[in-house]
Each structure stands twice: as C-alpha cells, then as structure tokens.
Structure 1
Amino acid sequence: MSIPRYTDAPHKNRQDLRNLRHMLPYLWDYRGRVLVALVSLILAKLATVGIPVLLKEIVDTLDVEKGQALVLPIVLFLGYGALRLGSSFFNEMRDAVFARVRYGAMRKLSHQVLQHLHRLSLRFHLERRTGNITRDLERGAQSVSSIMNYMVFNILPTVAEFLLVAVILLSQYEPRFTIVTFLTVAVYIVYTMLVSEWRMHYRHRMNALDSQANGQAVDSLLNYETVKYFNNEQFELHRYHDTLDEWEKAAVKSQTSMSLLNFGQGAIIAIGLTFIMIYAGHGVVNGEMSLGDLVLVNTLMLQMFMPLSFLGIIYRMLKYTLADMDLVLKLLNREEEIRDASDAVPLQVRRGEVRFEQVAFAYSPDRPILRDVTFTIRPGQKVAVVGHSGAGKSTLARLLFRFYDVSAGRVLIDGQDIRQVTQQSLRDAIGIVPQDTVLFNESIFYNIQYARPGASQEEVEQAARMAHIHEFIANLPQGYDTVVGERGLKLSGGEKQRVAIARVILKNPAILVFDEATSSLDSQSEQAILKALHEVAEQHTTLVVAHRLSTIVDADEILVMEAGQILERGTHTTLLARDGLYRQMWRLQQKEEQQAIPPSPLPEA
C-alpha cells in the first residue's frame, strides 16, 4: 500500500523569527512575572559563577607550606554554602514565578486556536482531517511552553553564565584562556547548527507521518460501522501499519544522526577543555598560577561546558518546537472566508420575511450550484423546496445561515442583506433540524439544552414533549442523564432527529429550517412529528427542504428545483394539476410507497 509522498516544502517556508515575535504579546501580558524571573535568573547565575571563585580562595587559603599554621576559613565556607543555597533558591524562584507565564500562554494559544477554528468557514471544516488537526494543535500548544522554557531556563542562563566566565577569564588570566574558550564555543555552535539543519528534515517527516497515522486511526474509529460493514479492519490496519512503518524509518534515521551530532559535540568540548587544562597546569608549574587558579579554571570550564552540551539538545528541540509552532501559526493566519462587515449591525427581526433575490452560487468556479434563484417566504409562511439529489436544495439553507456567501444576488431577512449584519445575530434568529443530526457525547439533557444553555429542566422537558420524545427519555434507566455516545451513536436515527427537533423547539427562533427533518422516521413517528412541527411552525417563517413529498402537502408554496434552478412553483394542488416534474415525482413516490406496503395475509380456510 502506497504512502503519500512527504514533502519538506512547508517547513522551508517557515519564518522562525516572525513566529518568535508572535510570542511577545503572551510575554507582555505577564511582564511583571517575566521581569522577576529574569532578575532571579541573573542572581542565580551570579551565585553559580561565584561558587568556583570562592572555592579558589578556599583552596589558596588551605594551600600553605609545611610548618605554617593551618587556619580553617570559616567565613569562606559559610559564603560557599550561602552561594550554593542562593543559586538553588533563585533557580527555583525563577521556575515558580515563570510557571504562570508558560501555562498561561498555553491556555491563551489553545483558546485562540479553537476560537479561530470556529470562525473558519464550513468549506475548511469539510476539507479538514480531524485527527491531523488535533495532533498538530496538541504539539503546537506544547511548543509555546517549550520555547519559553528553553529560552528562560536554558538559553538565557547559558548566555549569562558564558558572559560572566568570559569577564573572569579576561580580568584575571592570560588571553589564551579566553581565546581557547571562545574558539571552542564558536566551533561547537557552528557544528551544532550545521548538523542540526542537515538532519531536521527527518524530524519534519516524523511529524508529518505521525499526524497522518493519527488521522487514519481517528478516521477509522469515527467510521467504525462503515469499517465493519465492509469487513475492512485489515485494510485499515495495513494502511495504519504502512504509515507507522515509514514513521519508524524516519525516527531511526533521526536518532542515529543525533548520535553522530552528540559525539561531535562531545569531541569539541573534550578538545577545548584539554587545551585549557594544559595551559592551566603549565601556569601552576611555572609559578604563574596557584593551585586555586587551576581549580577555578577547571570548575568554570566544567560549569560552562555542561550547559553548553545541553545547548546542542536545546537548539535541536527549539527547531523542532518552532516547526510544531509554525503549523499552528499558519492555521491562525488562515483567512476567514466569511467575515462580518466592518460596519455590520445586529439583525433586526421584525416580521421574519426571507427573500432570495437572483441568487447564484458555486462551491468552485467550475461547479455552479444555484442559478438565478428568486423566491420569498413571507412572515408565518411555510415554503418547501423539493427536487432530485444535487438540485441545490440544502445549499439554500447553508446560504441562509451564511456558511457561504452568494456568488451573485442577495439573501434578505426583513429587507436586510445578511452580509451586512453580524453572523451571531443572524444565526440567533434561525433554527434548523438537519438531515444528519450529530450530537455531542454528553447527556440527552445537555444536547437539548444546548439550544439555550440557561434553559430550565421544565423547559427542556416541555420541548421534548412537543418533539414526542419525552416518554422515550423518561423510560431510559438514567432518563435525561443518559449519555448518547460519540456523535449520538447510541441513539437511532429517528431518536436523534427528535432530539434535534426538541432542541430547535427550545431555541424558539423567528425562522425555522427543516432539512429533510423526518427522513429517518417511520411513518407513525413521522405523522406525530409532522403534527408537532406544524404546531411549532405556525407562528414562524419556515423553509422546508424535503425528499418525501407527502410531508409538505400543506406548504403555502412548493419550489421544484432542478440543476440549481426553480422549474416550478405553486401549492401541492396546483403543481399536481400540471404535467410537470413535481407530478412525476409524486407519482413515482406514491408507487414506491405502495410497493413497500406488505400484502395482507390470506384468510385461513
């Protein structure tokens, strides 16, 4: 089974500096804590570098010639202990103070991304792969914390310590110590950057294949029933296995190349430290340096090279997290297809009249869906739209909700172009019962109350009664607290639709849309629901997208669509009187219903 060819191109277009600048607002929100953390960092490093300096004085004090009295330098030992304690205290202070910054930034970014995802158009959500996005978001949110962690806990402390060591070496010892130190650090950094850049594409490939494998796993679980219907468990497992196999190969290459990088870094540090110790030992032999100076130089180098060895890992991890963060920032930078106009105002629903005025629409330029569609639903009227699949019926509801903008023409509510009003006020005024009802994996009460989160138990139950589902819920062991399962899979299609009907009843909007709302119901339930819907729709402007013509015979007007155009319009009676498409559809459905009725059993002899 073939694996989609991975490309490194998206990462080559990364802008790491811009992404780092994107983090500044998060830091600015906690600028007081950031300042305290930085002060603690500096004090911790001053204490850390002061330890070997004080150790030198202790060694020199104790290094006396034979015959001289040995005096224990109590003050120096106490100072040594105080510096150790201070280093630990200020490091922990920095961590504790900065914790709010790290996790606050994660919270804000996660909230910002989810908010942006809800703002993106239906087109984006129809094309997205849920598993890939959830994994990218998980890594992206973690990347903000990681980058801050690396910068404040690793990179800045290492730079500060390096500068302090450089000052000590330049002020107290020959320039060759400083030259060797600077040269070692420079070679180390250049080597680390070059090799890390060379091996970065292995990490990028790992991320891409990880997201792909996660997406395949989530898709197969979301479509569990479909997988079972077609006995395709092995097909899904093979697909998942092949992707993980490619991921494993990339992971092995990433690890082996990292081992090469680590060995090179260790070699550079070992060579630099060896030269430093040779020079220091030579100085002691020649009487130019004391034994305490040797200890000081050795301790300073060890203190500096230890975090420097971690700096290589930090650099690689920083590059990885920048790659992860880039995915999220590109998502945040994705333009919203449907935006409120700069001068948008709340929709004022006075009568609830809906008008489609010469509307044309296409999902893509080469796929026109609607052409010159004009009709009006007057206040309190019920207008039904029928037609074969692909005629553009459900697209009308999506345009009314402004999930898409029309390509030409206008959609008006009480004379207001819906592109000139806020999306929130528009959708507050409309309620829908969709053909495919998807419920939250929460209780039935939660799913009904979702239409109006502040609704009381009595209001929820009343809506359920009007949707003829209260008795069913009441007979469940846990009643309204019954959890419906992911996407409502524990309920039948008819039960889910009745929950959706109860939900729209609870919302009580001025305009109602029924998108084949009874398609999953049996005939008896359908009649009960139709009666309830008729009662609900009496005082509302109603658009009904229907497949079963028997459900819309009472409509004030029926629009018959074909290939994105309205071919016929009128009441059920007037349309039947014509020898047109509606009459053909009616006869065909009547014939199908008659054939579906089982024959009566023969009387016994």
Structure 2
Amino acid sequence: MQKKRRFNLREQGEILRYLLAFTQGYRRYFALSMLLMLIASTIAAYLPIIVQRYIDEVLAPGRANLRLTLGVACVYIGLELVRSTMGYVQDYLFKLASEGSVAKMRNRLYRKLGQMNMAYFHTTPNGEVVSRITNDTETIKEFWNVFLSFFDGLTNAIMIGFAMVSLSARISWVFMAFVPLVLILIYTYQKTSTLVYQRMRDALAQVNARLSESIGGMRVIQHFNQEERMAAEFEAIDAHYVDARIRMFKMNALLLNPAVNLIQQVVLATVILLFGYLLTHGHALEVGLVYAFTSYAQSFFSPIAQMMDSLSQYQDALVAGHRGMNLLADERLEPKQAPDALDVAMDGSLTMRDLSFSYDGVTPVLEDIHLTGEAGEMLAFVGHTGAGKSTLINLLMRFYEFETGEILYDGRSIRAYTKESLRSQLSFVQQDSFMFYGNFYDNIRLNGAYSDEEVEAAAKFSGAHDFISNLPEGYQTMISEGGTSLSAGQKQLVSIARAVLRQTPILIFDEATANIDSQTEQQIQESLGQIRQKHTLIVIAHRLSTIKDADQIFVLEHGKIIESGQHDALIAQEGTYYDMYRLQSLQGQTMG
C-alpha cells in the first residue's frame, strides 16, 4: 500500500497537468462552456441591479406605470431566459468534454495494463487493478465538475464584487473583509483532506480486491466451509472503508458548506446592522440598495460554498489522479525487444545458453541452463514442484526478462524478433486455461481469421468436439466468464484447440493434460505425434508416461538441469528421473 502523504503544490501541479493532457481534442468544448458561463455570471450579477434601479428610480419617486413596469419585467425575464439557455448549453458541452476526456484516460490506462509484465499482475490484487480503471476514472470525471464549480464560483464572485462596488464601495468592504476567512478555510481543508481521501481510496481498493478474490474463489470457500470467516473478514475491511468515509463526512461537515453558510449569515447580519446604523445616524438609504445587497449576500457566498464543497471532490480526484499517474509511470513493463527486431518466420529450433533468472533479483530460480532442441523435436521438462519448470516457460514466452544468458529461436536471439512475430509463432497451453465470455467459436479462434470449419477441425484434433457438439447449441453455446460453466478438463481441450488452430512452429504445453481423463489424453498424445515433424513441442509434464517418446527429457531441480536424455537412457541411469518414474508406476499400480 502506498504511504499516505499530503500533496504539495508542485505535486498538485503535476497531477493537474496529467489530467489536462487528456483534454486534447475536447478543449474547444471546455473553452466555449466557460465562455458561456462567464456571460451567464455577468447576467446573474446584473439582474439585482435592474430590480434595485426599478425600486429606487421608478417606484420610490412614484413614476411607475404599467408600460414601464412591463418593460422592466420583460427585460428581466428575457435576460433570465438567456442565462438559463446558456446554462443548459454550457452544461451539455462541459459534460460532453468531460466524458470524452475520461474515456480517453480509461482507454490509455487499459492499454498500459496490456504492456505490464506478469510480475505486476502477480503482486497487484485484481480488485485494485479494476479500481484503477473504473472507480478512479469515475472520480476524475467528478474533477471536471470541480473545475466547473471553481470557475463558476470564481466568475460569480468577481462579477458580483464588481456589481457591489458599482453600487456602494463602502458597503462592499463588509463582504471583502470576510474573504480572507474563506481562504483560511480553503487552506486548512487542503492541509487535512488529502490524507483522509487517500485513506478512503486505499480502503475502497481493498474492498474491491477482497470482493474479486472471493468471487473467483467461491468454490473453495464453500468447499472448506469458509463462508463465515470470509464474511467476517470482508465486514472488517468494509468497516475500515466506512470509517474512512465517516472521517471524510466529519471533515466536510466542519470545513465546507456549513462553515461558509455560517460566514454568509454573519455577513448578512453585519450588512443589516450597517444599514440600521446608517439610518439611525441620519443617512439617506435607498430601498433598492438594501434589496441589492441582501440579495448579493446570498449570491456572493453561495458560489463560494459550492467551491468549498467541490474541494472534497478535488482532493478525491488528486488521489485518484496520482494513482493513475503511478500506473502510467510504472516501469514493470513486459520485456522490450531489440530496436532492430524483425518479423522473421521460425523453423522451430531452440537453444538456451547460460540462462539464469530470479524474480526478486536475489533468489535464483533458474541457474546456468544449457540445452539445444532441433525443429520438430519434442522437448520435455520434468521436476518436483518449485523446480523452475513453469518459470522456464514464462521466459520462453517472453513474459519476463532474464538477467543473464541467451534464448535463441533458430539461432536468433529471442529479443531479435518483434513481439508480434514472436507471439504469433508460439502457441501456449496452460494448466489453468482461461475462457472469455462468448461462444466456442469465439473462444477458439480468439478473433483470428479462421473459418468455422477450421475451428471445428482443431476441436476434433484436441478432443473438444465431442462434448461441444453434444451441447444443445453446439459451438454457439455461450461460455461464462472464466469458463466456470466448464470442467477443468473441458477448458484444457478448448485451449489445446486454440493452439492447434494456429499451426505455429512451436507448441508449448504447461502440464496441459493434467486434468484430462486417460482416454482423451491418449487421443491427444496420438494427435501430437502426428504433427511432431512440423512442430517443435515443448512440454512440462507431471505424468511421465506422457513423455516417454520425447526426443529429449530435461530433469530440473532447484532451477538447474541435473539430468537429460531420452526416457530409456534416463531410466538406465537410475537417477532422479528413474525414482520419479518408478514412484508414479507404483502409484498407478496401487490405484489400479
């Protein structure tokens, strides 16, 4: 969690520049909206003067008549209609621009997520990531309303100030004397509110993270009767969020609108006392002037009260904007390819030289990996849990950057291929396959230009066709998000169909048959055998019986290759591979 701190003026300026950068393309709407608001504020400041002059120059001297009164009323109503129309157009243009700029920001943040490396997603809860893209950007939308309120309040206060000075400079100073008190309130709020809003944003991110985790793991929660414990933990996290909200409400109630309203009433009382003093000391006092200044007492401070209320949203937007800035500035990006990387077709050979890797830069996960595989070979990696097998696959897929050594495809560094070229020539089948919301055609082709017939052929190859065709709507059946409506084995068959459909030179299987029944596994093994001459197969296997025909088997232990060779040769060595194979054979006999 980020350390909670206040934003100084320089940091606030950086955040505002970050937010304003997304207004490009919408600035003319913002500018026109503010121009209309300026005109509307001028009209609003002038309206009380019309009434004041009518009272003092028409009613008081007894010059009123129907024609003159109707004329004044028509002018007043006409200006009010113009002001209301401008207010509507101004509000529409401003909302249009704010929605567009926030959508631009949301899209930019989403694109940045696509550039992050896997370490970011492994260390950042899903709910917090979602909060960055949804809750925080919605908060930024409120920032534009804050900006609008500030501009509205400022222009109203300035225009009303000029109007009051034009009527009576002496009485106007009563209003101006209280402005420093409002500025002190703003400064105090700025000093105390950032921590409160940062605490609230962090608490909301924790709520989202726990909710996302619970939804994804609901099967495990129910299986182990953890509903009450998880509910209690969620309630504790939610209570932390509610507490943060209550702190915000207390602060806002003390320093925002109520405080300004109090100042407004004090000013009004002071103006009334001043008028009374002038009357009791023999000064002539026009009734219209009394009306104008009592009206301005409301009009002058109401925009300021709105500005003060907007400060709460401003502080919230600062925190949300800072989080967005941090995401865009986060350097945990996916590995970079060489500047002169090319889009080159592969044959499928693989070489690793002196390859070492560590997730944290301290504890080695892979050390001094050396191997060579020719195109069309089947390379298998085995080892106990934590040996480094999946990490090796992550490096082959270019999900992580390695510290030392080389990975070469067809003798070319993995960095010498463009990212698009590299990923388009590698098919990856994970142990835990992810399904997107959509039908089976969509999930297998993944927006690729493949016909329905090609999709079905790939599904037949993987063994997925049988269960798909038995569904009421067949390939048009909708799959729930994450594939919760499918078994683990069914999801793996669909994932294998994805890989086979693309006919890439290299196919990578990360224990892809772990959740498949023996009959389907045998079918897949036979199918894979048919394409080995055209494709290089890289397999992480738990069941050693599935890799007996591999051209090379590499045994990993603590990140190092301790044995390598074909099945029969490794069995003859009676080393680690022999022990693993014999143990699995004994387990199979026991289960049989």
Q: 1:127 to 1:460 in 2, by over 3 A?
A: same
Shift of 1:475: 0.8
SS in 1 for 2:249: helix
Determine the C-alpha separation between the residues in 2 that align with 1:425 and 1:502.
Answer: 21
Partner of 2:207: 213
Given the alignment, which residue of 537, 544, 552 partners 1:542? 537
Alpha-carbon displacement from aligned partner over 1:457-479 (angstroms, at most 9, x marks no partner): 22211111111111211111121
Matches within 5 A, 1:127-166: 127-152=123-148, 154-166=149-161
Q: 1:247 to 1:26 in 2, by over 3 A?
A: closer
Partner of 1:248: 242
TM-score normalised to structure 2 length: 0.93
Is 1:73 aligned to residue 95 of structure 2? no
Shift of 1:580: 2.3
Determine the C-alpha separation between the residues in 1 that align with 2:76 and 2:55.
Answer: 12
Matches within 5 A, 1:482-521: 482-521=477-516
SS in 2 for 1:440: coil
Partner of 1:291: 287
TM-score normalised to structure 1 length: 0.92
Ranges in structure 1 where 5+ consecutive residues have no aligned partner: 1-5, 598-605
Given the alignment, which residue of 119, 126, 143 partners 1:123? 119
Shift of 1:537: 3.6
Given the alignment, which residue of 181, 194, 211 partners 2:188? 194
Determine the C-alpha separation between the residues in 2 that align with 1:537 and 1:92.
Answer: 68
Alpha-carbon displacement from aligned partner over 1:466-515 (angstroms, at most 9, x marks no partner): 11111211111121222333321221121111000001111222211011
Shift of 1:62: 3.3
Shift of 1:289: 4.5
SS in 2 for 1:259: helix
Alpha-carbon displacement from aligned partner over 1:138-179 (angstroms, at most 9, x marks no partner): 221112211112212x111111111112222333423x3332
Determine the C-alpha separation between the residues in 1 that align with 2:246 and 2:136.
Answer: 23
Is 1:223 aligned to residue 220 of structure 2? no
Determine the C-alpha separation between the residues in 1 that align with 2:346 and 2:483.
Answer: 36
Given the alignment, which residue of 472, 476, 480 partners 1:477? 472
Q: Contact (CA 8 Å) 1:558, 1:572: kept in 2 or not?
A: yes
Given the alignment, which residue of 387, 394, 397 partners 1:398? 394
Is 1:579 aligned to residue 570 of structure 2? no
Q: Which residue type is aligned with residue 439 of structure 1?
A: M
Shift of 1:70: 7.3
Partner of 1:183: 177
Given the alignment, which residue of 327, 339, 346 partners 2:342? 346
Q: Contact (CA 8 Å) 2:4, 2:199: kept in 1 or not?
A: no
Matches within 5 A, 1:349-388: 349-388=345-384
Partner of 1:54: 50
Q: Contact (CA 8 Å) 1:448, 1:499: kept in 2 or not?
A: yes
Given the alignment, which residue of 328, 331, 338 partners 2:324? 328
Q: Which residue type is aligned with residue 188 of structure 2?
A: L
Q: Which residue type is aligned with residue 24 of structure 2?
A: W
Q: Which residue type is aligned with residue 304 of structure 1?
A: F
Q: Which residue type is aligned with residue 526 of structure 1?
A: E
SS in 2 for 1:359: strand
Which segment is superposed worse, 58-67 or 308-317? Answer: 58-67
Q: 1:377 to 1:539 in 2, by over 3 A?
A: same
Is 1:411 aligned to residue 411 of structure 2? no
SS in 1 for 2:564: strand
Q: Which residue type is aligned with residue 381 of structure 1?
A: E
Q: Contact (CA 8 Å) 1:284, 1:294: kept in 2 or not?
A: no
Q: Which residue type is aligned with residue 263 of structure 2?
A: I
Q: Contact (CA 8 Å) 2:555, 2:564: kept in 1 or not?
A: yes
Q: Contact (CA 8 Å) 2:6, 2:191: kept in 1 or not?
A: no
Partner of 1:204: 198
Determine the C-alpha separation between the residues in 2 that align with 1:136 and 1:67.
Answer: 66
Is 1:25 aligned to residue 21 of structure 2? yes
Which segment is superposed worse, 298-307 or 203-212? Answer: 203-212
Q: Which residue type is aligned with residue 428 of structure 1?
A: S
Determine the C-alpha separation between the residues in 2 that align with 1:540 and 1:476.
Answer: 32
Q: Contact (CA 8 Å) 2:252, 2:312: kept in 1 or not?
A: no
Q: 1:573 to 1:10 in 2, by over 3 A?
A: farther
Partner of 1:600: none
Q: 1:347 to 1:31 in 2, by over 3 A?
A: same
Q: Contact (CA 8 Å) 1:105, 1:144: kept in 2 or not?
A: no
Shift of 1:398: 0.4
Partner of 1:601: none
Q: Which residue type is aligned with residue 505 of structure 2?
A: A
Ranges in structure 2 where 5+ consecutive residues have no aligned partner: none
Q: Contact (CA 8 Å) 2:154, 2:303: kept in 1 or not?
A: no
Identity of aligned residues (%): 27
Q: Contact (CA 8 Å) 1:284, 1:290: kept in 2 or not?
A: no
Q: Contact (CA 8 Å) 1:441, 1:483: kept in 2 or not?
A: yes
Shift of 1:12: 5.4
Partner of 1:235: 229
Determine the C-alpha separation between the residues in 1 that align with 2:207 and 2:143.
Answer: 26
Determine the C-alpha separation between the residues in 2 that align with 1:425 and 1:72.
Answer: 81
> Could you say what the CA RMSD is over the residues aligned between the two structures, in angstroms?
2.3
Shift of 1:294: 2.1
Is 1:101 aligned to residue 103 of structure 2? no
Determine the C-alpha separation between the residues in 2 that align with 1:76 and 1:229.
Answer: 78
Determine the C-alpha separation between the residues in 2 that align with 1:368 and 1:301.
Answer: 71
Shift of 1:35: 2.3
Number of residue pairs matched?
589
Q: 1:26 to 1:204 in 2, by over 3 A?
A: closer
SS in 2 for 1:524: helix
Determine the C-alpha separation between the residues in 1 that align with 2:416 and 2:290.
Answer: 77
